[in-house]
Structure 1
Amino acid sequence: MPTSAKDDTTVKKGKILIIDDQKSAACLLKTLLNQIGYTDISMVQTAPQAIAACQHCAFDLLFVDYHLSPPLTGCELIAMLRLNNAIKPACGIVMTSGDHTSEAILTSLSIAPDAFIHKPISLGVVREKVTATLLSNQYCQTIYDTRQYNTDLAIEQCREMLSQVGNNRKLAGLLLDMLLAEERWEEAAKEAEQRLTSTPHPRLYLYQARAWYHLGHKEQAIRLLQQQLQHHPLAIELYDFLSDFLAESGHVDEALNIALKAHRQTPCIAQRTLRVAKLAADTNNHQLLFECGRSLAANQPITDPAWLDNLARYTAIIEKVYFRHHSPFFSRQLMSELEIIHRRLASRLPPAQLNTLTSFGHIYQARLGINQRPLDAKRHLLIGLSYFFSQTNKLPSAIIADALPLLIHLGEISLLGLCHYAITQQAPIGPHSQQRLDDIRQQPLLINAIKSAEKRLLEAESLKQPAPADALQVYRQVLRDYPYSSEANLGKLECLYLLGEDSDAQLIDGVKSLSLMPLPPQLSRRRQSLFDKLTARRTAAAQAVTPACLANAEN
């Protein structure tokens, strides 16, 4: 960067947060910062304290120790803060660590911090990193502000700023990110090439490769990344894009080998684990696929709300493999592996999250069994959702997205309405959940069919008291399309009760069969009401028969 470490008089003295579970290390860093003129400094020791602090104050710079106390590492904390927009886009991130292992360094670099400082920390290093980071982010904040209302203007503003301050790596990265986001591939390729003449950094080569790939120069982009990894084997982000490019170009085995290298160097990065899992499934490497599941359960950050979405993405990969292989042995092996993953996750999750995991476990069992064992699948589905019957607004989007296709298939209209309302109240929605929802939206025949069923159920409900025979016919029409629909089956039983067509014993058996699984509150009350009426009528009939029997006996 053009600004030297001594040129800190041009930098605004921002608000700084130190996150370190070792109080002595945090106090030492605070003293060093005080010595170079920074006084607005807060200190916290845990991830929850850091989250609370960031929610109440817009910090300009975070010093984050890599090894925080469990359950989160520093990198996982930063990823969560960014995902939840708890820090400004231009907030500076300086990772600190006494751990010199490649895993710690590479995992830290995976979140793209502004700087990484090894402990013990010296005054000169602090001055250099803080000055450079705050000055770069000062430039970037101006661009971020403009980008909110005019991306084209932000791009031009960024170019102008770069011409004034020189080759500022973060500012150049922001410019290239905007060009790629706007799909201005040729401009991005030229910009990267221009920057590379003065700063041959691996990340700039990555920008160039991405632009080339989208311009159709796929083999050239792949070769460029392969060459760069020979020179920079620790540039972990290059592995990710090279693996994706190879897979998209049909070189799946080679893509898997590249993805596996990145995963093994940073096992706690869930996206890399999932990339390996998908490629393992594509190459029928089932053992590696199962290893990925165990790694995901053991290493992904479980306090991050994304843990469930990551699990859903993994089970979606498993689901495709499950339906591709019809061997009973393989099915049992797969279910056994899912059980191991479930138990490992359960051992790490806080008690408040266990119901969510159990709920999701029932949902994916329903998805796997819906074709061969629809009634059993329905039972799992309703048990899974029953954990949230009294608080549907807290239904996680990953559970809703995986449950919705099943609810449509089974004709569970009431639960569809509850889930639809719950999903509209949530933001942001994870990428897997969003993909599931988009898949449903792209099936208009399916949507129209379930809307038609909903109208017929409303019609039947309005006919039930004045004309139960007509209502019964409508319910039976719905059941021809959706034979397992709870509303239609319950409505049919109510009409038969009103008409007196079946014996009370048969009707009670029908109600009991509906009692084998939980129902949402409104349907549960209807079921109980019908059961009570049938029981009362049966009791009254028995009492009426008894005196008649006695009279006959006397005669």
Structure 2
Amino acid sequence: MDTEQKAGLNQLTILVIDDCKTSTVLIRQQLISLGADTNNITCVHSASEALSTAKSRFYSCLIVDYHLSYNFTGVELINLMSRAKVISDTTAVLMISGDASQETVLTALSGRVRYMLTKPLQTKALKARILAGMKEQTDLANVEQQLCKLNKVSLNELISIKRQYPNSLNVESLLIDTLVEQQMHSDLEAFLPFCSTKDHASKVCAEAFLLLHKGQLQQAAMTLSDFVTRNPLCLRAIDNLTGLYESLNELNTAFTYAYRAFELTPSSSQRMITAVRITSKLGNLSKLYELGHTFAQKVSATDSLWLNAMFSYVDFIMEHFKKLNTPQSRKEMLHNLNTMFLLIHRQLHTQQRVALSAFKQLTQCRLLLTDGEPEKAHKKLLFALSHYYENLYKMPLVMLRHSLPLLEHFGELSIRHSLVLLSRSNTSDHKLLLEEKDHPRDFSQERYPFSIEMKLLSLCNDDALKKNQAEQNTVQYLQKCSLPPNWNMWLNDYISGAFSTTLPPPFDIRATQGEAS
């Protein structure tokens, strides 16, 4: 054991985060009785205090209450602190809670959190968990550093690392997962005999992975199923079993497992999408609505993928909306979607609500277009994008990608061009998905009757400068649309009589980029 751990708690710096001041006082007293230095214990009572405190001092251990506020958990705080880089790879995290429900425990024991204690805390158990957490986190950080230094992962290197930590299941799991991720099938098969005889999630999932690679799908499913029967709360095995049964097209069985995993962790966007995808294949609309509502009530404001999950959900909803034949069934679907929007709105902070509003308008655009109301759909599209007119760089990439085909459909090709340029400067990950397109030869009012670009170009033409009824109708139509800033300025100049006969680009991308930076 490391020197720090041999000395007990007296060398550790500990941050206690609990909204209950009485609780922090009690924990502080327990830590002092265990030998912790009074000057090394900091107690805070909110997420904002925790973030600011962690920025000014290194803490080797965090003790975090699960329920920090009405709709903010300790897990969300740890996610925020990890993304903000204010806790290190060696920092141990201990979650505490007076709530020992399955949902709380399983949601808490994810990612960086490996231990959880139920209030009131037993002093002896508190010390044991802190020291065990410190050792495991340090071991994992050391192993990850060793793996990063390897030019190429080899079986001999992994066996050597395994022997350095013979009793650590976490290190063993990390090594197994490394082989699985790199799809080193033969090395994985040779490595498993060096592992502990005790079954654990990584080992069993790896065994199923090898059976799957050999084409033995039913045997792989049986291996996972037996393990889940003995370990009904092992989410990783349940997730793997769900995917396996889905690949076998045994959708009812796949849904049973997917729904179980989602019920246990309803704030998980990935598990929601898995359950929704399988439910969509089964055509069970009532269950599809239920999944959407449950996720909307539980979604975490710190989940960076919440908007991606909502777009994926609506993609599945749209597939069914197109097939609904009666006004009543379509009305029911729209009602359920609206309920979902209301529920999720309560869970998000102000900036996220802007994205939600834009997402809602974009969803309405798609629904209206499917329902045969293109003019209304077009206005909804522009209104959705207008949330980001002042700073395009704040537009989420998932929203940008969903907007491009709609802009092309309506003939808003210059706006589309601006968004493609934006995506190229934003991230390299999406460059290959977004190809540049020239204006088509038949770029005309007949093909794109609602295109604001088409209407603005018609005003630029000398023939259209005459004050006739058609021109007045065009101006009135444009005034009711959410125009990009440069086009809005041009239209105002046109109305005042002082304007350029050349239509400017819809956005000043360079200026927008400057604001973003």
Would you say same fold, with TM above 0.5? yes
| Aligned-partner residue type, residue 525 of structure 1 | M
SS at 2:69 equivalent: coil
Alignment-derived partner of residue 523 in structure 1: 487
Distance of 2:185 and 2:375 partners within structure 1:
52
- Which residue matches 1:549? none
The aligned counterpart of 1:511 is 475
Correspondence 1:399-548 to 2 at 5 A: 399-420=399-420, 422-423=422-423, 440-441=433-434, 447-448=435-436, 450=437, 452-453=438-439, 477=443, 482-495=448-461, 498-499=462-463, 503-533=467-497
Q: Which moved more, 1:58-67 or 1:412-421?
A: 412-421
1:260–1:9 Cα change, 3 Å: same
Q: After superposition, give the CA deviation of every residue in 1:359-406 in whole Å (9 maximum; x if it has no partner).
A: 111011112333533322110011111122112222223322322221
The letter for the 1-side match of 2:475 is V
Structure-1 separation of matches of 2:158 and 2:375: 60
The 1:278/1:500 distance shift into structure 2, 3 A limit, reads: closer
Match of 2:251 in 1: 252
User: Do structure 1's residue 384 and structure 2's residue 363 form an aligned pair?
Assistant: no
Deviation per CA, 1:423-462: give whole Å up to 9, x if none: 45657x9xxxx7xx58944xxxxx35x2x22xx8xxxxxx
Q: Which moved more, 1:147-156 or 1:523-532?
A: 147-156
Counterparts of 1:195 and 1:34, CA distance in 2: 39
Contact 1:102–1:265 (Cα < 8 Å) also in 2: yes
Change in Cα spacing, 1:317 to 1:78, as seen in structure 2 (3 Å) is farther
Displacement of 1:113? 2.4
Residues 264-413 of structure 1 mapped to structure 2, 5 A cutoff: 264-371=263-370, 372-413=372-413
Distance 2:351 2:260 in 1: 35
**Any conservation in 1 of the 2:299–2:344 contact (CA below 8 Å)?**
no
Flag the 1:11–1:203 CA change in 2: closer, same or farther, 3 A: farther
One-letter amino acid matched to 1:144: E
* Matching residue of 1:468: none
Residue 35 of structure 2 is aligned to residue 71 of structure 1: no
1:28 to 26, 31, 34: 26
- Matched residues in 1 for 2:267 and 2:411: separation? 40
Q: Distance in 2 between matches of 1:416 and 1:58?
A: 46
Query: How far is the alpha carbon of 1:225 from its aligned partner?
Result: 1.1
The CA deviation at 1:417 is 4.4
The DSSP-based 3-state class of the residue aligned with 1:68 is: strand
Tell me the secondary structure at the aligned position of residue 309 of structure 2.
Answer: helix
* Cα distance change of structure 1 residues 398 and 51 upon mapping to structure 2, 3 Å threshold: farther
Contact 1:20-1:68 at 8 Å conserved across structures: yes
CA RMSD of aligned residues (A): 3.3
Query: How far is the alpha carbon of 1:325 from its aligned partner?
Result: 3.6
1:543 corresponding residue in structure 2: none
Distance 1:417 1:297 in 2: 34
Structure 1: 5+ residue stretches without partners: 442-446, 457-473, 536-555
Q: Which amino acid aligns with 1:510?
A: T
Instruction: Return the offset for 1:171.
Output: 1.1
CA distance in 2, matches of 1:213, 1:57: 48
Q: Tell me the CA shift for residue 293 of structure 1.
A: 0.9
More moved, 145-154 vs 64-73: 145-154
CA offsets, 1:155-190, max 9 Å, x none? 865542321231211111211221122111333344
For structure 2, which runs of at least 5 residues remain unmatched after alignment? 500-517
Q: Is the 8 A contact 1:205 1:225 kept in 2?
A: yes
Q: Cα–Cα, structure 1 residues 477 and 265, in superposed 2: closer, same or farther, change >3 Å?
A: closer
Count of equivalent residues:
496
CA shift, 1:290, in A, is 0.2
Following the alignment from structure 2 to structure 1, what is the Cα–Cα distance between the partners of residues 9 and 174? Answer: 20
* AA of the residue aligned to 1:489: K
- How far is 1:416 from its partner? 2.7
Structure 1 or 2, whichever has the larger Rg, is: 1
Judging changes above 3 Å, is the alpha-carbon distance between structure 1 residues 86 and 184 closer, same or farther for their aligned structure 2 residues?
farther
The percent identity for this pair of structures is 22
Assess, with a 3 A threshold, how the Cα gap between structure 1 residues 28 and 207 changes in structure 2: closer, same or farther. farther
> How far apart are the structure 2 equivalents of 1:110 and 1:89?
15
CA 1:404/1:222 → structure 2, altered by over 3 Å: closer, same or farther?
Answer: same
How far residue 107 of structure 1 moved from its aligned partner, in angstroms, is: 2.2
C-alpha spacing 1:193/1:375, structure 2 compared with 1 (3 Å): farther
Q: Retained in 2: the 8 A contact 1:11–1:135?
A: no
Is 1:61 aligned to 2:66, yes or no? no
Asked if 2 retains the 8 angstrom alpha-carbon contact of 1:185 and 1:215, the reply is no
